[in-house]
Amino acid sequence: MKVTVVGAGAVGASCAEYIAIKNFASEVVLLDIKEGYAEGKAMDLMQTASLNGFDTKITGITNDYSQTAESDICVITSGIPRKPGMTREELIGINAGIVKTVSSNLIEHSPNTIIIVVSNPMDTMAYLVHKSTSIPKNRIIGMGGALDSARFKYRLAEALEGPISDVDGMVIGGHSDTGMIPLTRLATRAGVPVSEFLSNERLSQVLEDTKVGGATLTKLLGTSAWYAPGAAVSALVQAIACDQKKVFPCSVLLEGEYGLNDISIGVPVIIGKNGVESIIDIPLNDAEKASMQESAEGVKKVNALLEL
């Protein structure tokens, strides 16, 4: 199992670290355009191998895509990070060109790879990969919902004052502050609806805190977060590599599901060795349907800015 991570910044390096520590991949290739940067990150990470007990080989490469050949899974994290006060949507002009070039180079050397898109605005970047390449739609996955759902569960556990292992919850819709839809109605604590424990007012606060989860961290850190994004990617990569058939909300191309067409947006899917094994079309109530339509309209407005 060979995994390539493009972009050796904080998110990319975090991806490589978590994948290596889980010890299911034989090799992780970390690629960056900055001379020596990926090599340095890879060497630093490899010097933790004996301490963290993993045998995964981490290789750093400067912009030589031939070294990524025959990768089973490729992760695209490259692009400029979000700065304080900047929306994900504002990143589109720069990151679209980067993602298009990177995906083309990856597929040239690994035509059967599964691509995980992390670069923002993520739903639009995933859509761009669908439109600019010829690989099947099940092999293009946008990572946003897995991260947003983790942030939702963190906020739920905080409100419940209970262990996060008791909590289950899911966020669908666009990966943006205004587009994401935390499904509070379906969230549970040990199988019991969280509404049995939390007031509507407290649940509304959880919802709002979840939606600004990324922006909150950007304000505190001065740049985008990296630990949770890296962990979310590693969970997806492991589900594919180990054919776990796990359910994650991911940005995938819809063709009628949820009443939507020609859009990549976050919905629950089963992830296994083929990438997206199937899309789960869960019944939404009227308010959730309206939120999903509104979210989709927002994503399509950003998609319209692409030069396809």
Binding-site residues from annotation: 7-12, 32, 82, 88, 95, 118-120, 151
d(CA 307, CA 12): 26
109 noted as active-site residue: no
DSSP line for the chain: -EEEEE--SHHHHHHHHHHHHHT--SEEEEEESSTTHHHHHHHHHHTTHHHHT---EEEEEES-GGGGTT-SEEEE--SPPPPTT--GGGGHHHHHHHHHHHHHHHHHH-TT-EEEE-SSSHHHHHHHHHHH--S-GGGEEE-SHHHHHHHHHHHHHHHHTS-GGGEE--EEE-SSTTTEEE-GGG-EETTEEGGGTS-HHHHHHHHHHHHTHHHHHHHHHSS---HHHHHHHHHHHHHHHTT--EEEEEEEEEESGGG-EEEEEEEEEEEETTEEEEE------HHHHHHHHHHHHHHHHHHTTS--
Catalytic residue among 2, 130, 175, 189: 175
Annotated binding site for substrate: 82, 88, 120, 151
63 in the Ramachandran plot: left (φ > 0), alpha (ψ -120 to 50) or beta?
A: left
Q: Which residues are annotated as a binding site for NAD(+)?
A: 7-12, 32, 95, 118-120
Residues 6 or more apart whose CB falls under 8 angstroms from that of 18 comprise 230, 231, 233, 234
Catalytic positions are: 175
